[in-house]
A and B are shown apart, each in its own frame.
Chain A
Amino acid sequence: MCTAATALAFFPHREEPLKVGRMSELLMVVAVTLKIAITATLLLCAPALALAYLLARREFFGKSLVETVVALPLVLPPTAVGFLLLRLFSVDGPLGSGALGFDFGLLLSWKGAVLASSVMALPLVVRSARVAFQGVNPRFEGISRSLGVGPLATFFRVSLPLAKRGVFASLILGFARALGEFGATVIVAGNIPGKTRTLALAIFSAEQAGNEQLAGRLMWVALLLGFAGVAGVEWLGRRSVLGGGV
């Protein structure tokens, strides 16, 4: 079994004055981070909202088990979740090439980072979206059904629009979690510059390598991204596209 931790690569140059190359490396880190976080959010969107809605509205056998499993990534150390994913998808794991006959190609790739951040962000999205769906009066859904609109169409025409503020906020929360994900990502996807080295990993690497200057610059980038993100959400929330809700 290969452990991705062996792929931990450190910055080769220390204490080097800033050059244009450094700038592009910084941009690369930001690009990798956004690509992974955005893909992870899009990936988890459908299953997380479906799960949130089911937990908010339906009673079914094994509901509390599902609730517990979904909440696990919140309470486990992220590295433990990462290790679990690594075992699942490794060559001899139940979802590895040995068992399935083909390879997802997740380990040590950006796809692995996407999976790790999705899994880590899922419980946050499910929990807050569930509260948003619970805030919708179920009688609206009953009226919709009685008007001849089936359950799936009722979800998209009534439940989702009425819960849109809370659902949007939950996805932002998930996106933020994916942006900063470290522990699970580093184990599943490693820390490969230009492929899986996100901001969180880059700051860690720079600090470990003693490159305080780079770590500082990366920290400022993270701060800026965070600020822009929160401000953007606030702005979107005030706009009528998302506003005008209930």
Chain B
Amino acid sequence: MTERAHAQVEFSLRLPVDEFTLDVKATLEGRVTGIFGRSGSGKSILLEALAGLRPAAEGRVRVGERVFLDTPRVNLPPEARNVGYVAQSPLLFPHLSVRENLAFGARRAKSRGRLTGPASEDALKYLELDALLERRPSTLSGGEQARVALGRALCSGPELLLLDEPFASLELPLRRRLVGMLVSFTKSLEIPVILVSHDPIDLQAACHSVLVMERGKLIAQGSPWAVLMRPAVSALQTEPGFQNLLSVRVAEHSDDTTLVHMGEHGTRLVIPRCEAEIGEAILVSVAARDIVVATERPRGISARNVLSACVAEVEAAADYRLVHLTVAGETRVLAELTQGACSELGLAPGANVHLVMKTHALRYVSRAG
């Protein structure tokens, strides 16, 4: 992803809540930051505190040149923070039409282009809201409501976008599509985004860096890949284990499969048929535990994908081994093996191996941002 200038976000917050004390300090690197953690780990409270909806929070919050909070001297109310906040439930104003909902924060956006301005027009186009403008929120589907909620936040001209699992209640394919829309749209606005999600694939696809929270504290911070593969972090996932995310380009469709090319060298992969167009860049995922590692090239095998790879590192976790592999010298892939399998194969850095993946172990995620 191409990086452009964006305001740097820095915060150090303390807020006692029911079961624990939220205590986090971070300087965000990269424009889109993911926050990952179990439910009840304080992710939503952190976002509310950043938005100014938790006035009891103490510490310091800075976005670019603007200081939101500097206890005890500064504590800006939410309306003065110029932050777009989208909660888990869409919370559209039920007494207003979609158009009125989108225009609700327009006064603030005036200086940056109103609902008729270019940013808002783009938001309407990106989020496909044009057809919904005269509808009442109660007549919208869940996905439509989520899109309007996002559009409403964007139309208020925010300088920071806080998204608390805005698509969590939606079905997977729709959610992936909306996350993709969001990422490509905010890229054009150059505003920092903080996205709370419990989906490691969303985080890898959308974020430049990831913070991991547990009981109100930060337990990890770094690039999505580096953070999410940590055994302590992947253990927090609802579907445990690391998910590899691969950028590929669609080459050919057949009846039930799609042929894609990965990386500069065009490594061929067969995935279940997807609806993307030929030549389009897409993301596919494969779980680290669904990859079979062989030291000799297997023959007479039903699996369609057999790739040559090189072992970069073998990392020990509590009850398994994480094998770091490089495919065609460019793509990083993680495979999860048992301790026994690992020692029997004698895997060590530098070893040349073959990776075996069933077609259906590979899953289409979304269009690449």
Interface residues of A (CB under 8 A from B): 137, 139-140, 142-151, 157-158, 161-162, 244-246
Give, as a whole number of angstroms, the nearest-CB distance from A114 to chain B. 33
Instruction: Identify 4 new A-B residue pairs, CB closer than 8 A, beyond the known A140-B93, A146-B85.
Output: A148-B82, A150-B79, A151-B79, A245-B95
CB-based contact B108/A148 at 8 Å:
yes
Q: In the bound complex, do residue B77 and residue A145 qualify as a contact, i.e. CB atoms below 8 Å apart?
A: yes
A245 to B107, CA, bound (A): 25
Contact (Cβ within 8 A) B105 A246: no
Chain B residues close to A by CB (< 8 Å): 48, 51-53, 77-79, 81-85, 87, 89, 91, 93-95, 104-105, 107-109, 152-153, 156
Complex Cα spacing A139 to B78, Å: 12
Pick from A146, A150, A158: contact of B93, CB below 8 A: A158
Q: Are A146 and B52 in contact (CB under 8 A)?
A: yes
Q: Can you list 8 pairs linking A and B with CB atoms under 8 Å apart?
A: A142-B78, A142-B85, A146-B52, A149-B107, A150-B77, A151-B77, A161-B95, A162-B95
Contacts of B78 in A (CB 8 A): 142, 145-146
> Which residue of chain B has its CB nearest to the CB of A158?
B93
Contacts of A245 in B (CB 8 A): 95
> Is the CB–CB distance between B91 and A149 below 8 Å?
no
The docked-state distance in angstroms from the alpha carbon of A147 to that of B110 is 12
Are A144 and B104 in contact (CB-based, < 8 A)?
A: yes
Nearest chain A CB to B155 CB, angstrom units? 9
Measured CB to CB, the nearest residue on chain A to B105 is: A147
Among B53, B82, B153: residue with most chain A CB under 10 A: B53
The residue in B53, B77, B78, B108 that gathers the most chain A C-beta atoms within 10 A of its C-beta is B78
> Cβ of B79 and Cβ of A149 under 8 Å apart?
yes
Are A147 and B53 CB-contacts (below 8 A) given A137-B91, A139-B91, A246-B94?
A: no
Residue pair B79, A145 in contact (C-beta under 8 Å): yes
Complex Cα distance A162/B91, Å?
A: 13
Report yes or no: A143 in contact with B91, Cβ–Cβ below 8 A.
yes
The residues of A that contact B156 with a CB separation of less than 8 Å are 147-148
Chain A residues positioned under 8 Å from B152 (CB to CB): 147
Considering the complex, give the chain B residue whose CB is closest to the CB of A138: B53
CB-based contact A148/B105 at 8 Å: yes
Pick the contact of B94 from A142, A149, A162 — CB < 8 Å?
A: A162
Contacts of A151 in B (CB 8 A): 77, 79
Kindly state the separation between the CA atoms of A139 and B149 in the bound complex, as whole angstroms.
13
B-side contacts of A157, CB under 8 Å: 104
